[in-house]
Chain A
Amino acid sequence: MSLSESFGAKARRQLLGSIPVTVGLVILGALVAASALAQLLAPYNPKRATGGINEPPSLAHLFGTTGQGQDVLSQFLYGGQNTLWVAFSIAVLTTLLALVVALTAAYFRGWVDDVLTLVTNVFLVIPGLPLVVVLAAFLPPGPLTMIMVLTITGWAFGARLFRSQALSLREREFIAAAEDVGESRWRIVAVELLPNMGSVVAAYFVNQVIFAITAQASLEFLGLGDGGQITWGSMLFWAQNSSALIRGAWWTFVVPGMAIALTAFSLALINNAVDEIGNPRLRADRLLRRAGVKKPSATLMTPVKRDA
């Protein structure tokens, strides 16, 4: 079964037609395009002082200048580039790692499952930021450290989510049928389980991009990024460090902060709509209401995953 079949063509039409998704895609597309074309669009060298100190937005500097006299617009564009590729890499890696752990657990079952679940739960319960700070402090600052540290600390929730999804799928009839036909376990995992987890994996991936952008910015804000690299997080770090707040230079922190918030918001909008449509419980409810049934009965509900 492919993703499109399990989703249904109707759901896809609903998805593309929904207002939140359109708004999300437009915001996200604009931010990604602007960052990708930074070399073409940026009016100044983002690292050079090209204006006065803390100049408010003007025609020469549309988003004003920083405490070091750099152009905020150019920094925003180049910063987007550096921020987004790191965030994207972290999201890809954590999703893959989570999938590998979850499917290994679901495939081998028994003690392998027990051990992996235990490791996952330990990672889940240890608070992220302090661990990331300690890890990042001992490694040389830079994008690779950032990717590694946030991948190590960011995969656990996905592993738990995917594992319970795989376990509840395993109880379904088509898996039993595949087993009866004599399909190998690896084939069942790769061909039967994985494609049916498509919507869950996609939603998780989008969430991970949000996590990565925010976590990356948090670390850089603390001063644990590479000081020479321009990212949205390092822009905020410098704004805080040059007391932009008390000097009233709101543009130096509003621009990178809104960039982060808008990216996260657009992704959350898309994700939420996918969930409303992809989650059979919410969907069934809506369809029945449209058909005039006030409260759908419990029998129409999807099986609840029993895993804590």
Chain B
Amino acid sequence: MYYIAKRLAFYVLAAFVAITVNFFLPRLTPGDPASTIVATYSTSLNAESLAALKAAYGLTDEPLLQQYVAYLGNVLRGDFGRSLSNFPAPVMAVIGAGFGWSILLGLTSVLLSFVLGSVLGAIAAWRRGGWFDRLTPPVLLFLGSFPYFFLALLLFYVFCFKLGWFPMGNAYSSVNPPALNLQGIGDILLHLIAPAFTIVLVSLGPWTLNMRNAMIGVLSEDYLTLAEAKGLKPRRVLLSHAVRTALLPNITALGAAVGAVFSGQLLTEIVFTYPGLGYALMRAVSAVDYPLMQALFLIITLSVLAANFLVDTLYVLLDPRVRTGGEA
């Protein structure tokens, strides 16, 4: 429990840092971007909204500390201000719709690539030096060298545009999200395949290579020789002795990967016009909608922190050394 409390404190601190960066960025960057933003919108907004915008960027007479406390309060209440490009819609309303789709795409692809990569890595290490072991690393390195959005462009061009196997963008065919019956779910899955496949392909490499290297380390441990000497079946040695231990570093990496995969996912969503947070981010960038951009940064960061905390908790369940307070 001590370990979990320690991790929780760390994530709270990280969240606090992110919120603080978000607060000071428009106020302290050189060139006074805040004034420029307000000037750009001064003609299109009414006096009341303009005052709100000025307050959001610290262009008031209030002391900095007071602004900061007010800002923290707003964030805690989930109030991230109003979107400039969809004025006067609150930023949260713009983000809310995309959040679910991003979570669906992200979870599907991270879990798929984690499971697939760990299995491939275990096989490669078990049959070390075989054709599979020789072929896998270079192929995965090559795929992993593709920026997410470039592979997305390629797959979109080939499978959605040329071959027409998958729909060209969006997360469902109808205008509104479909009902969650068999047909609706099938439709959602069909739209999910191409973007998820992209993310899995690019992110598969590290899982496989890490698993392979961890397995190679574990396979040379004495306790495995013992397991073999006891006369256990190879299958049993592989699954309940080697894989279980070798999986631990990969699970630690799962937390770190969530952030990286999420970054790549945002770009993949843009290519497939998948209506998630990435798509919202691109709209924010092209419309120079600073409040939306900043809120997206915070929301994505907080989600990633939460995911990391979940992974840490999972780790405690899997590695008894952490539970007893020993070194992991």
Q: Is the CB of A133 within 8 A of B301?
A: no
Contact digits for B268-289, partner A, Cβ 8 Å, 1 yes 0 no: 0011000000000110011010
Q: How many residues of B contact A (CB 8 A)?
A: 69
Residues of B within 8 A of A268 (CB): 141, 144-145
A175 close to B (CB within 8 Å): no
**Complex: how many Å from CA A125 to CA B17?**
11
11 pairs across A/B with beta carbons < 8 Å? A118-B10, A125-B259, A125-B305, A129-B266, A218-B147, A223-B282, A240-B153, A245-B153, A248-B161, A265-B141, A265-B145
Known: A133-B293, A240-B153. 15 other contacts (CB 8 A): A124-B256, A126-B304, A127-B301, A130-B266, A130-B281, A134-B22, A134-B297, A137-B288, A138-B25, A218-B263, A223-B282, A236-B149, A253-B154, A285-B220, A297-B222
**Complex: how many Å from CA A203 to CA B87?**
48
B residues lining the A interface (CB < 8 Å)? 10-11, 13-14, 17-18, 21-22, 25-26, 29-31, 33, 129, 137-138, 141-142, 144-150, 153-154, 156-157, 161, 168, 213, 216-217, 219-222, 225, 252, 255-256, 259-260, 262-264, 266-267, 270-271, 281-282, 285-286, 288, 290, 293-294, 296-297, 300-301, 304-305, 308, 327-328
Q: Is the CB of A269 within 8 A of B138?
A: yes
Residues of B within 8 A of A272 (CB): 137, 141
Given A125-B11, A139-B29, are A130 and B300 also a contact pair (CB < 8 Å)?
yes
Given A125-B304, A127-B259, are A282 and B216 also a contact pair (CB < 8 Å)?
yes
Q: Is the CB of B260 within 8 A of A135?
A: no
- In the complex, how many angstroms separate the beta carbon of A149 from the nearest chain B beta carbon? 11
Residues of A within 8 A of B282 (CB): 222-223
Q: Is the CB of A245 within 8 A of B266?
A: no
Contact digits for A84-107, partner B, Cβ 8 Å, 1 yes 0 no: 000000000000000000000000
- In the complex, how many angstroms separate the beta carbon of B133 from the nearest chain A beta carbon? 12
A59 close to B (CB within 8 Å): no
**Complex: how many Å from CA A211 to CA B144?**
11
Nearest opposing residue in chain A for B265, CB measure: A129
A260 interface neighbour in B13, B147, B213, B267, Cβ under 8 Å: B147
A281 close to B (CB within 8 Å): yes
**Complex: how many Å from CA A246 to CA B160?**
10
Q: Is the CB of B153 within 8 A of A253?
A: yes
A residues lining the B interface (CB < 8 Å)? 20, 118, 121-122, 124-131, 133-135, 137-140, 210, 214, 217-218, 221-224, 236, 239-240, 245-246, 248, 250, 253-254, 257, 260-262, 264-265, 268-269, 272, 281-282, 285, 289, 295-298, 301, 306, 308
Q: Is the CB of A218 within 8 A of B213?
A: no
Q: Is the CB of A134 within 8 A of B271?
A: no
Q: Is the CB of B225 within 8 A of A222?
A: no
Residues of A within 8 A of B296 (CB): 130, 133
Q: Is the CB of A122 within 8 A of B13?
A: yes
**Complex: how many Å from CA A139 to CA B262?**
24
- In the complex, how many angstroms separate the beta carbon of A158 from the nearest chain B beta carbon? 14
Given A245-B157, A295-B225, A301-B220, are A221 and B297 also a contact pair (CB < 8 Å)?
no
A127 interface neighbour in B11, B148, B288, B300, Cβ under 8 Å: B300
Q: Is the CB of A130 within 8 A of B220?
A: no
| Candidate in B22, B26, B157, B281 with the most chain A CB atoms within 10 angstroms | B157
Q: Is the CB of B281 within 8 A of A222?
A: yes
Q: Is the CB of A133 within 8 A of B297?
A: yes
Q: Main secondary structure on chain B at its contact with chain A?
A: helix
Given A257-B154, A268-B145, A298-B222, are A126 and B18 also a contact pair (CB < 8 Å)?
yes
Residues of A within 8 A of B17 (CB): 122, 126
Q: Is the CB of B137 within 8 A of A295?
A: no
Q: Main secondary structure on chain A at its contact with chain B?
A: helix
| Candidate in A118, A217, A282, A295 with the most chain B CB atoms within 10 angstroms | A295
Nearest opposing residue in chain A for B228, CB measure: A295
**Complex: how many Å from CA A205 to CA B33?**
34
A210 interface neighbour in B145, B217, B220, B263, Cβ under 8 Å: B145
Nearest opposing residue in chain B for A136, CB measure: B285
Q: Is the CB of A130 within 8 A of B137?
A: no
A306 interface neighbour in B213, B225, B327, Cβ under 8 Å: B327
Nearest opposing residue in chain A for B26, CB measure: A138
Q: Is the CB of B29 within 8 A of A138?
A: yes
- In the complex, how many angstroms separate the beta carbon of B275 from the nearest chain A beta carbon? 17
**Complex: how many Å from CA A308 to CA B321?**
13
**Complex: how many Å from CA A210 to CA B271?**
22
Q: Is the CB of B145 within 8 A of A126?
A: no
B153 interface neighbour in A20, A222, A236, A298, Cβ under 8 Å: A236
Q: Is the CB of B141 within 8 A of A257?
A: no
**Complex: how many Å from CA A257 to CA B151?**
8
**Complex: how many Å from CA A260 to CA B145?**
8
Nearest 5 A/B pairs, CB to CB: A129-B263, A257-B150, A264-B145, A265-B145, A127-B259
A298 interface neighbour in B14, B221, B267, B304, Cβ under 8 Å: B221
Residues of A within 8 A of B168 (CB): 246
Residues of B within 8 A of A248 (CB): 161
**Complex: how many Å from CA A230 to CA B30?**
26
Q: Is the CB of A122 within 8 A of B153?
A: no
Nearest opposing residue in chain A for B221, CB measure: A298
**Complex: how many Å from CA A248 to CA B10?**
49
Given A137-B290, A138-B29, A295-B220, are A257 and B147 also a contact pair (CB < 8 Å)?
yes
| Candidate in A135, A139, A222, A308 with the most chain B CB atoms within 10 angstroms | A222
**Complex: how many Å from CA A250 to CA B138?**
26
**Complex: how many Å from CA A261 to CA B147?**
7
Residues of A within 8 A of B141 (CB): 265, 268-269, 272
